[in-house]
A and B are shown apart, each in its own frame.
Chain A
Amino acid sequence: MMKIIRPALVSLVVFTVLTGIIYPLTVTGIAQLIFPAQANGSLIVKGGKPIGSELIGQPFDDPKYFWGRLSATSPFPYNAASSSGSNLAQTNPALLEQAKARIEALRKADPQAPASVPADLTTASGSGLDPHISPAAAEYQVRRVAENRGIDEAKVRALVAAYTEPRQLWILGEPTVNVLNLNLALDDLKKE
């Protein structure tokens, strides 16, 4: 029996040390040495202070900013301390209500907005923290943002184009616009 019990107990210690201490510490060491910015949360730093993460979206409902995806985190949207999707089924009436409320808010902020709204702008992301919208969703909001800021539409559109990322390595994923980066750039534009 000891032939089984000893290795079973010792293996607890051995494998915990090997895969639970040595391995993660090695990865941390390499990561902090080669990719410190990424390993620490891809922070956007302004004036020496972190003002957000490139990878984590923030909530916007002011008409002069671009708005992101809906977010199902609680108690407030884009609460990064508690990531969550809505988990609403396609047949759940709450899903339809959520989309209708978003469309109404978009219309209220810009009565002239087109009738047909891009899907990503009316749905909640999986994480509740999606930092991106589609180029179509950005274009949908260009008129509103330009008007509310009193700047030329073409200027805003050019900024959107500058912040549109193509597919990674030409093939992977989808074209994206980073909402927080775009809005930060808009605020900088005003100061010039």
Chain B
Amino acid sequence: MTTNGIIQIALYIVVLLVLVKPLGGYMAMVYEGKAFWPNRVLAPVERLIYRLLGIRPDDEMTWKTYAVAVLAFKFAFFFLLYLILRLQGILPLNPQKFAGVPPDLAFNTAVSFLTNTNWQSYGGESTMSYLTQMMGLSVQNFVSAAQGMAVLVALIRGFTRRSASTIGNFWADLTRTTLYILLPLSLILAVVLVSQGVVQNFSHFKNVPLLQKITYDSPKVDADGKAVTGADGKPVTEHAKASVQTLPLGPAASQVAIKQLGTNGGGFFNVNSAHPFENPTPLSNFLEMLSILLIPAALCYTFGKMVGDRRQGWALLAVMLVIFIPLLLFCYSFEQAGNPLLTEAGVNQTASDLQPGGNMEGKELRFGIANSALWATATTAASNGSVNAMHDSFSPLGGLVPMVLIQLGEIIFGGVGSGLYGMLAFAMVAVFVSGLMVGRTPEYLGKKIEAFEMKMVAIVILVPAACVLLGTAVASVTNAGVAGISNPGPHGFSQILYAFSSAGNNNGSAFAGLSANTPFYNTLLGVCMLFGRFWVMVPIIAIAGSLASKKYVTPSVGTLPTHTPLFVFFLAGIIIIVGALTFLPGLALGPIAEHLTLYK
């Protein structure tokens, strides 16, 4: 680890924490319906939307109605996105004349974006038309993020309301989130990103000449388009010349901004934010990284403010940092250590003022090691899943960190809204466990946590874990699953484990060497994403309804305070124990085994 690297990481964390209070406070005002300045400008738009939807924002919903509204909304958007993907070949704004997306990929992509996962089985610049990117994928980025935040707010109302039967109006929460939070932040970020070089236009791809014309070996194909293999079984190659480079363009900045802010992560281009047109400079990189954790971190403060005890919000944020920072430094140190096999071959991997050194495979030079490790940790702590370096080429233990953060359930920051509601589920587990220790009915924020809540919390924790483990198991023993592996040895297993962790917990990043664009993976991962999103979201809404109906219990001397350092470490411990018990065997077979073969 270098001094400059540590300074960059420290700067990132400080700037993030400084922004938590102002943004968190602002979001609390939005959800509490108080007056604030964008409200004056945008209130007519808000009212217009309500009129078009035919709803009244103060028309309160029970938890069942709220859940049905959430699902109906998603169902409608699923069909729209699926249709756009299938029909993009005949729709406008398709200058590169991309064909319609095949059914299994369209299903996978539609599910992936509506569940806020943004797993990419496709390469953006070679598959998706501008219209699809803009009106299909970007729109999903907004609404799936807004939906996650709406459900969080419903859960917070569950804590704040007493003996109530309703938890708010979904359409109003959705509209306010989009209009007052996501759109203004995205607009500002998009314009700043363009200033750094992120493209934003509707032009054709542009051909430019290569300064040096090159010859390369291209696999020879026969008349049917099949690769020709020689007598030795290896593919035959022929010399080919390249003299032109085709630069991909399009409305990227507007999409990059929301995919970072909304913890979506689906890139405009194939390599996501490693692409120089998606993330051109260290400053654009800093802002994109900041956007990953900005809203999830600030929502902790929003939560504290709305439940009337800010310490509760800060305590949850502290739990996140207690887990985030050590894992970040662990990842950074293994990436900076480089690859022992390359050192033997004569590669200089020592950091100096003149080179970043370390494990540079799959990393961009302008970001170096520190920023790549920081991004990888942040994007998997939050359920963002965008990347600025290829996680598949990380060192075994450096790549273990993103995998572990995903497997902990996307609650260390987590997705916008979904991260904090997942964390609150774990907080209920923590008070429940401590309640068992002393034989008292557990309480959290003045609400008794009883059998119904604990059943729902169990579903929230077990369903994604089951998706990950069962999916990995199935893929590991079927030909279709094993066929996707691109790296030999334990790393091949890691590729499968990572894919299902990512899908089951709605992250969306990958060990991207895995050939996942097959009917087998597209379908199985798609199903995991659906389960991972909605079998968490609906039980959470149910908890919100149940909590709202309860009376407030005045804290007594026997109540466990949930804002103290003791509780912070207790909760962090619960999260790590649950995660470790579930995933340690899998991790031992993948990254840990790989590490031991590398340093034997």
Residue positions of A touching B, CB distance < 8 A: 4-16, 18-21, 23-24, 26-28, 30-32, 34-35, 38-43, 50-62, 65, 69, 75-93, 95-96, 99-100, 103, 115-120, 122-137, 139, 167-169, 171-176, 180, 183-184, 187
Contacts and interface: CB of A to CB of B under 8 A. Distances in A.
Which one of B11, B285, B347 has the highest number of Cβ atoms from chain A below 10 Å of its Cβ?
B347
Given A20-B139, A55-B276, A125-B363, A116 B348 contact: yes
B271 A136 contact: no
A92 B597 CA distance: 11
Given A58-B245, A90-B339, A39 B201 contact: yes
Interface in B468-494: 486-491, 494
Contact of A90 (B186, B277, B367, B395): B395
Contacts of A76: 214, 216, 218, 240, 242
A27 B186 CA distance: 9
Contacts of B136: 20
Contacts of B205: 81
Interface in B347-401: 347-349, 352-368, 371-372, 387-390, 392-396
Contacts of B387: 126
A146 to B, nearest CB: 18
B362 A24 contact: no
A126 B135 contact: no
Given A6-B54, A69-B365, A120 B69 contact: no
A59 B210 contact: yes
Interface of B: 4, 7-8, 11, 49, 52-55, 65, 68-69, 72-73, 75-77, 80, 123, 125-126, 134-136, 138-139, 141-143, 171, 174, 178-179, 183, 186-187, 190-191, 194-203, 205-206, 208-212, 214, 216, 218-219, 240, 242, 245-249, 251, 253-255, 257-258, 269-271, 274-277, 280-283, 285-286, 338-339, 341-342, 345-349, 352-368, 371-372, 387-390, 392-396, 486-491, 494, 511-513, 594, 597-598
Given A56-B245, A90-B396, A119-B342, A171 B365 contact: no
The winner among B206, B352, B393 for most chain A CB atoms within 10 A is B393
A38 B194 contact: yes
Given A26-B187, A92-B487, A122-B347, A167 B355 contact: no
A67 B201 CA distance: 31
Q: Which 9 A-B pairs have the closest CB atoms?
A: A173-B282, A87-B513, A126-B274, A172-B282, A85-B390, A136-B355, A134-B355, A20-B135, A174-B368
A14 B106 CA distance: 23
Nearest to A132: B365
Given A117-B348, A180-B211, A127 B361 contact: no
